[in-house]
Amino acid sequence: SGLPLLQRILGIGHPPPPRRVRALILAPTRELVAQIAEHLELFTKGSPAKVYCVTGGASAGAVACSSRS
């Protein structure tokens, strides 16, 4: 689950510098990636944390499936 990771990130107390990644969660399928991102977006609502969902395998390379704050 990403909740312990999210608690740790939010517990740092300050937002990261611009364009800085604090965590990367990998999953074996697109469906699972979308499900994880959807749940994390619910838990980060109203916080400075941002969730980005990226999947690979498309002919043009990685495809962004969501970008919300």
Per the structure block, which two tokens stand in for 46? 């109203």
Per the structure block, which two tokens stand in for 13? 């107390």
Around Cβ 45, how many Cβ atoms within 10 Å? 11
pLDDT value, residue 65: 58
| Cα–Cα–Cα angle for 45, 19, 21, rounded to 5 degrees | 70
This prediction has a pTM of: 0.67
**What residues in the chain have per-residue pLDDT under 70?**
1, 58-69
Phi, psi (5° rounding) for residue 35?
-65, -45
Per the structure block, which two tokens stand in for 16? 């990261």
